[in-house]
Amino acid sequence: EAVDMTQAQLEAGYDLDPLAARNLLDYLREQQEATRVVPSDRSIVVERFRDEIGDWRLCILSPYGGRVHAAWGLALSARLRDRFGLESDAIWSDDGIIVHLPDADEPPGAELVLVEPDEVEELVVGELGASALFGSRFRENAGRALLLPRAYPGKRTPLWQQRLKAQNLLEVAKRYAEFPIILETYRECLRDVLDVPGLTTLLRGLHSRELSLVEVETPTASPFASSLLFDYVATYMYEGDTPNAERRAAALSLDRDLLRELLGQDELRDLIDADALDQVEADLQHRSTRTRADSADVLADVLRRVGDLSVAEAQARVVEGADAEGWLLELAAARRAARVRMAGEERWIAADDAGLYRDALGVVPPGGLPEVFLADTPDALAKVLARYAATHGPFTTGEVQERYRVDPAAVLRELERGGSLVRGELRPGGSEREWCDTDVLRRLRRASLAVLRKEIEAVDQRALAQFLPSWQGVDRHPPAGAGVDRLREVLVPLQGLALPIEVWERDVLPRRCGAYSPTWLDALCAAGEIVWVGAGALGRASGRVALYFRDDAPVLGPPPGGRAELAEVPEHEAIRERLRRSPCFFTDLLAELPAAPELLQEALWDLVWAGEVTNDAWAPLRAPRQTLAR
């Protein structure tokens, strides 16, 4: 948009001098020539080019700010390593992100930057512990906690020594999952430094194509990318904050439950739609109409996916009118299914899972099975529980214990540390913390979001234009005689809004009250129902004020702009001291305070606009330089 503006428009609209306006236009036009599109809040540009030594650089040019870009950069670093085996740190600033790809023959396309919104938080948390950002914040937190003592009291420790001490402390602290300084550093980075929710919203917009992603390849860095290259050098001056040990091991043995408590994250219990959960569980368990088995072969596949089933459970997973037990016997005769005794009841399993259930739960396999089906299975219980999680919605430890008659807590925690399970308050209507497979949770989020989108459809701008006047009350025509009662109704949503004095009675109140009369506001002030508070001067003869109902004022607090800094004069404190004792008339101030009337009135109005002094009438505000009555 700025590229299409003229120099005169920039000077008039943005208070730029001619040289600045001309330079800005030239800068934007050069960028447009290089990348075709100037990055904006609606268009993100992904630029790639080779640097001076022939390595590929990937730049994301975006105006969304350093907090969003920092989180995005961490997620990109993790994605580059996981998908392409490339170790490359993303460097970010307020203007974008730059990634160095030293070992890439061809750079990944723009799809690299389209991280799945549901995966962002996990990627950022996993990458954060190995970043320079984490190292520097840990050093600061350790210093505040007095864990980095000084050699001599009263003398500063050189920065390089602080960094070495902090690195060594981090090497030791990472062995303890609940070490408070590590948890506080994660909390500070995720809550105060990074904007993960903002990044998630941005990525959702890119995935839904509400925002556009423009991919370009340039021979050299564009003007915007050149500034990112400059930041690249400056950032690496501080890369020494990265921990000494293996950087990939620096994911740390982090206690995720404690981290969630520190972050104060909203639990998902109230966010997951109950109907969506029922549908997803029915699909995962093959109990929905579209997923039920319609033949013995399909039932064999169900046993492999879902795991052990009783006859009654199998019957619930076949089409109406089918005989599940007959199909199971048919599969058993073909050595494709086996009947075993488990947790005090008979269940059916896939024949090739016999060794798995024997090693996991001590189940005795039936005779006649091939040796290959009875081979030893490492981590058998973990595999059984992982399959259970992948085919169920959120579940509790007690539910697993009841089904398999084992204590699964240690194995579930190990699966959580491995990233395949998460724990939290997830099930709608539940009363305790549950476990859930990460892929299932993503599916639940998507299904719940789809339900909500059906319930809430976006409206066009015309609907907003119709809504705003109604919301503000400017399209209503109150009945004749509404008077003060209508004014009370109008003032309720306007409390705390600071506006110039003349705007209140010229524009705001008449548009909402109809036949407005100034005596109505005078009456409410005189009765003590309404109080007004100054919120900053506008020149020497006017200012902004906010209106409150007296009982609501302490709750709503001062208006923005109140309590302005004053150039203190003796008359200010003299007036404060007198008014602390009791309210008084202006004539009382003249009689009791040894100051010239002009100075006293000037000081009094200073305190009014600073929000320290008010009046029990509105009339003085209509002529601010006249003498106040009280």
Digit-coded pLDDT (tens) for 505-523: 888 888 888 788 889 999 9
Is pLDDT at 165 greater than 50 in this prediction?
yes
pLDDT at 376: 92
Q: pLDDT-derived band of residue 586, with 50, 70 and 90 as boundaries?
A: confident
Give residue for tokens 């004539």: 587
The mean pLDDT of 10-38, rounded to a whole number, is 88
Task: Flag the least confident range among 100-104, 172-176, 280-284, 465-469.
Answer: 172-176
If you ran DSSP here, which 8-state letter would residue 593 be given?
S
Q: pLDDT-derived band of residue 630, with 50, 70 and 90 as boundaries?
A: very low
Q: pLDDT-derived band of residue 51, with 50, 70 and 90 as boundaries?
A: confident
Tell me the pLDDT of the chain averaged across its residues.
83
Is pLDDT at 244 greater than 50 in this prediction?
no
**Bridge partners, residue 216, by sequence:** 47
**Bridge partners, residue 549, by sequence:** 530
Is pLDDT at 260 greater than 70 in this prediction?
no
Is pLDDT at 251 greater than 50 in this prediction?
no
Among 9-13, 253-257, 361-365, the range with the most confident prediction by mean pLDDT is 361-365
Query: Alpha-carbon distance 354 to 377, whole Å?
Result: 10
Q: Are 419 and 251 contacting, i.e. CB atoms less than 8 angstroms apart?
A: no
Query: Alpha-carbon distance 353 to 19, whole Å?
Result: 77
pLDDT in tens, 542-570: 889 999 999 888 888 888 755 556 778 88
For the purposes of burial, counting CB atoms within 10 Å of the CB of 170, is it exposed (0-12), middle (13-18) or buried (19 or more)?
A: buried
Q: Say whether 551 sits in a helix, a strand or coil.
A: coil
Is pLDDT at 452 greater than 70 in this prediction?
yes
pLDDT at 286: 95
pLDDT at 321: 92
Phi and psi angles of residue 97, each rounded to the nearest 5 degrees, phi first: -135, 140
pLDDT in tens, 110-163: 788 888 898 888 889 888 877 878 878 888 888 777 766 665 555 666 665 666
The mean pLDDT of 268-282, rounded to a whole number, is 86
Is pLDDT at 307 greater than 70 in this prediction?
yes
Is pLDDT at 263 greater than 60 in this prediction?
no
Q: List the Cα angle 566/568/571 in 5-degree steps.
A: 120
pLDDT in tens, 185-230: 888 888 888 999 999 999 999 998 899 999 999 888 898 988 887 7
Q: Say whether 443 sits in a helix, a strand or coil.
A: helix
Q: pLDDT-derived band of residue 319, with 50, 70 and 90 as boundaries?
A: very high
Residue positions counted in the chain: 630
Query: Who has greater pLDDT, 438 or 87?
Result: 438
Query: Alpha-carbon distance 265 to 156, whole Å?
Result: 38
The mean pLDDT of 66-79, rounded to a whole number, is 91
pLDDT at 60: 93
Q: pLDDT-derived band of residue 171, with 50, 70 and 90 as boundaries?
A: low
Task: Flag the least confident range among 251-265, 473-487, 584-598.
Answer: 251-265
The mean pLDDT of 29-39, rounded to a whole number, is 89
CA-derived radius of gyration, the chain:
34
Q: Going along 538-621, which residue ranges are E strands?
A: 543-549
Query: Alpha-carbon distance 516 to 350, whole Å?
Result: 81
Is pLDDT at 252 greater than 80 in this prediction?
no
Q: pLDDT-derived band of residue 298, with 50, 70 and 90 as boundaries?
A: very high
According to the 3-state scheme, what is the secondary structure of 474-500?
CCCCCCCCCHHHHHHHHHCCCCCCCEE
569-600 per-residue burial string, b: 16 or more CB within 10 A, e: under 16: eebbebbeeeeeeeeeebeebeeebebeeeeb
